[in-house]
Amino acid sequence: MGNGAIETIQAVIHNFVKSKILINLPTFSSYYEFAKNRIEVIYNKLDKNDKFQLDIEQFIQLIKKEKPDTIVLINPNNPTGSYIKLTDIKYILAECQEVENIIIDESFIHFSFEDDTYTFKSAAELVKYYNNLIIIKSVSKDFGIAGIRGGYALMNQNKVKFLLKNGYLWNISGLAEYFFNLYAKETFYQEYEKIRVKFIKDTQDFFANLSKIKQIKVYPSLANFALVELIDGSKCSDFCYKLLIKYGVYTRTCTDKTGLDGEFVRIAARSESENQIIIDSIQDMFLY
Ligand SMILES: *Cc1c(COP(=O)(O)O)cnc(C)c1O
């Protein structure tokens, strides 16, 4: 358990990465920020022409060539929302057994699905079979509780023992512990499941409606946000300021994200009625 998933990321990067880490771009910046100085960081840039989808074969070839001791996959990825199917994750794991640490960050996995049952396909169980697999999971986004600072990582027992020996004790609050007791309850999970599936349907409807606005391009996402490219020549910071000041809608510029060529913003889904307000605001803004 960590004081937010961020603490588990820090623990894993600082304790298990030896000399070389492979990270896809664009990414959640903590992965390379914690790696700075001591560790060589290799980037694999995802292509917007491929809708930021990971090319599995090319990725495996890159691993064989560069021989990193650690690789990071964020699934679905932040900030692109792009998703890697569980069969492809299994294939990567099978092909990369010589890699010492395979980190899979599933902080947005609850928003993903592979068929019309909307079940999410976590790789968490595979920790039992792959000693090199490390699953990272935040509960900040799917449960909307970033403030209580709760997250966890799943990994081989020896790695857990090593971390506990090296100071990760008394790091979570009573409030986070209270939440995780709920999280483990079957009844809580059943209630959550109903809301989760409804939220996914609303979110995918929202993305489809956003896509109809001709000044923007919405990249396919299985997270609760979509990466949006402005294709009418406007600047992403202008877009975000106007939406916030004039309409009270907060979206995130991606100017600080490495590996994005163009004007990009990240727009998160909210409730059905709030999503409509976001759509109406963007449409209205483009009129003036
Ligand atoms: C937000 C986020 C985290 C960190 O979440 P915590 O709030 O520290 O639990 C980790 N990974 C990804 C991909 C995230 O987006």
Residues 134-175 have pLDDT tens digits of 999 999 999 999 999 999 999 999 999 999 998 777 889 999
Q: What is the mean pLDDT of the chain?
A: 96
Q: Which CATH architecture has domain 5-183?
A: 3-Layer(aba) Sandwich (3.40)
CATH number of 188-287: 3.90.1150.10
For the CA of 7, the closest atom of ligand 1 is: 8
Q: What per-residue confidence (pLDDT) applies to 167?
A: 77
CA–CA separation, 261 and 75 (whole Å): 22
Least confident of 161-175, 230-244, 249-263: 161-175
Amino acid letter, 63? I
CA of 212 to the centre of ligand 1 (A): 30
Question: What is the 105 CA–ligand 1 centroid distance (Å)?
Answer: 9
Alpha-carbon dihedral angle through residues 168, 144, 80, 238, given to the nearest 10 degrees = -120
Burial class (CB in 10 A: 0-12, 13-18, 19+), 286: middle
Summarize pLDDT for 114-140 with one digit per residue, the tens.
999 999 999 999 999 999 999 999 999
What 3-state class would DSSP assign to 183?
A: helix
Pocket test for ligand 1, best of 7, 31, 78 (most atoms within 8 A of CB): 78
Q: Identify the pLDDT of residue 20.
A: 97
Where are the chain's structural domains? Answer: 5-183, 188-287
Q: Are 140 and 225 in contact (CB under 8 A)?
A: no
Q: Which of 113-117, 164-168, 224-228, 272-276 has the lowest mean pLDDT?
A: 164-168
Asked if residue 140 has its Cβ within 6 Å of ligand 1, the reply is yes
Q: List the Cα angle 277/236/220 in 5-degree steps.
A: 65
Which residue puts its alpha carbon closest to atom 11 of ligand 1? 107
Q: Among the residues of the chain, which ranges form H helices?
A: 5-16, 30-33, 56-66, 86-95, 157-165, 174-183, 186-211, 236-247, 272-287
Pocket test for ligand 1, best of 28, 72, 227 (most atoms within 8 A of CB): 28
Residue found under tokens 């640490």? 101
In single-letter form, the type of residue at position 54 comes to: L
The token duo for 244 is: 């916030």
Q: Alpha carbon 255 to chain centroid distance?
A: 18
Which residues make beta-bridge pairs with 267?
A: 226
Which pLDDT value is given to residue 93?
Answer: 98
User: What pLDDT shows up at residue 85?
Assistant: 98
Asked if the domains 5-183 and 188-287 are classified in one and the same CATH topology, the answer is no
Expressed in angstroms and rounded, the spacing between residue 207 Cα and the centre of ligand 1 is 22
* Residue 64 CB partners (closer than 8 Å, separation 6+): none
User: Does the beta carbon of 197 lie inside 6 Å of ligand 1?
Assistant: no
- Answer whether residue 38 shows pLDDT above 90: no
Calculate what percentage of the chain has a pLDDT beyond 90: 96
Burial label for 82, CB within 10 Å (0-12, 13-18, 19+), is buried
Cβ atoms of 194 and 168 within 8 Å: the answer is no
